[in-house]
Structure 1
Amino acid sequence: MDCVDTLKAAGYTVLATSPKEGSMAAHQLDPQKKTALVFGNEHAGVSEELIEAADGLVHIPMFGFSESFNISVAASILLHQLRTQVEPAALPDFYLSEEERFQLRSRWYRDIVKNSAIHERQFFSTFEQEG
């Protein structure tokens, strides 16, 4: 699992979301750790292969007959939980720097625009001609 290996090499703890026995509750997440959360689909959840590759499991405590939320709700709840734990801790490097934000946004733009390299070359050539 290249993605998991890359995240672990970068110092992340990889946690798969799962209601399986032995998983930690969402409020037990450590905001001091770099954490990558893995969400499965609404029917099958996270694959067994990924569960085995992960450092641990995390779940959202639930009551009643449901065992899971849909993926967007689960992601929202877990991210909110982390955010509420981080704010009182005032972690200095929790938020992305301006440079990190720029790099992520640039990568995202390149990924969503067809033939982005062509557009980028055209943009910079126009920019250089004007300057």
Structure 2
Amino acid sequence: MTAYLWLIWYDAAAKVTPKHWTLAVSYEAHDRAYATVYEVTMDFTGRYQSRVVRRVHLTSNHPLGAYGGKILLGEVNDGVLCSLEAYSDTAAELVNTYNRKRGQGTSNCHDWATIIVRSLEDAMLLPQGSLARLERCPRTG
């Protein structure tokens, strides 16, 4: 079965602060479709942890901010769906490793999403150009 992978961003608290990015998978391509949302959230120690939230509307608000927008990254198959949680966990650990070396908050949810999309595109599990579309999405305010 074919599913759709989206990048969703949520409004930031201020013009200079980062928007929150998540990846979402839906089986329909309209705004009211239900999706499984993959994201990273920061715990009380400053480490990012991968999180999955099921049955969320694509255009729902997030506790961190109001729905800001979305972009379709491409169609994915069931094989990708089975491994997306593992991709998310691995990308979160890469972000945490980078932050330990460079300083807390140096890398964030934007880098997490970029790592996952780059990996999927490199493995030819997402169409060519998906990463380029992601990189043009708004990151702040």
Q: TM-score, normalised by structure 2?
A: 0.29
**Higher Cα Rg, which structure:** 1
Compare the two structures and name the one with the higher strand fraction: 2
Q: TM-score, normalised by structure 1?
A: 0.30
Which one scores higher on RCO, CA 8 angstroms, separation ≥ 6?
A: 2
